[in-house]
Copies of this chain bind each other. A is one copy, B any other.
């Protein structure tokens, strides 16, 4: 069957990417696209790369316009979806790409976001290990037949997928994790801010939200606790670099003393051996972010630094695909009983 779909926030980068992927998905048909200030415009005038959707016109983001669809994807700024989703039908599959339904802890929400707390939905990272140390349970199970999905933060899911296997296998410590990410500015959305102007970003690298203030930190900790971490601490620094999309995350964690390099690597091999979208590269190879552009893949390179006593996991991901829109659609596939990989690309657009 074909599912009728609405996308809210269709004028932004995440909304545009949802539409790009949905347009090549055999089981979804986009019926409604909504926006705020762009309502009334043709979609293709705002998203000129979406030629196949030239027939669609943006309408206001209201519960009425979103009603009557099988699936509603929300790509709204954080704080905007909570109130809206309360007015959507319980039988409708709602996938929120914003932050409003990711965190389980109200105090984390208050500390990092603030405003009304709407509670956590099923977290949209199917491959994430969630049963604690020694368990092979994955988040995928919790997505089956759910009607409420919180797509992950792009940075958070990247770091969580990078380290969860080591925690679940008991080969790395969850204290003193350090992650530094090279990220493209599309992750910050279309907001008009001076620091996001092209002249500021071109030829430059610059960090933001340094020193424990980034909103994805509690989301990472929550995910790692699911894999078995006790009180994980994460030093997390994103660095804006001059590429439109993509994340290259370097995450390091202390190896549990006495664990040899082969045992370390084996944890990741076991966790992802059968995953269609998570690829551990052979020893000695490292990923490039460009190899994931447009694809729903995350590529992992792993090295053991015996001298430093740390494992280094480098992850490449397209922040708009596997980091956001692809993850949302992959999770929706599961919730709807479709093959999980339907409509999602394995091959990146490179160079």
Contact = CB atoms under 8 A, between A and B. Distances in A.
Interface of A: 13, 16, 20, 23-24, 45, 47-53, 176, 178, 180, 182, 184-186, 188, 190, 192-194, 196-208, 210-212, 217, 233-235, 237, 239, 241-248, 250, 252, 254, 279, 281, 285-295, 297, 299, 301, 303-310, 312, 314, 316, 345-351
Contacts of A208: 286
A207 B49 contact: no
Nearest to A197: B196
A15 B325 CA distance: 28
Contact of A202 (B23, B233, B244, B347): B244
Contacts of A48: 281, 285, 287-288, 291, 299, 350
Contact of A241 (B194, B197, B211, B243): B243
A202 B185 contact: yes
B250 A351 contact: no
A211 B347 contact: no
A52 B346 contact: yes
A192 B194 contact: yes
Contacts of A309: 176, 233
A244 B203 contact: yes
Nearest to A233: B308
A46 to B, nearest CB: 9
A51 B295 contact: yes
A11 to B, nearest CB: 10
Given A24-B345, A192-B197, A206 B244 contact: no
24 contacts: A13-B199, A48-B350, A49-B291, A51-B346, A51-B347, A176-B254, A180-B180, A190-B199, A192-B193, A197-B197, A198-B198, A200-B288, A202-B242, A204-B290, A205-B248, A207-B286, A210-B301, A212-B305, A233-B307, A233-B309, A234-B308, A237-B252, A241-B243, A294-B294
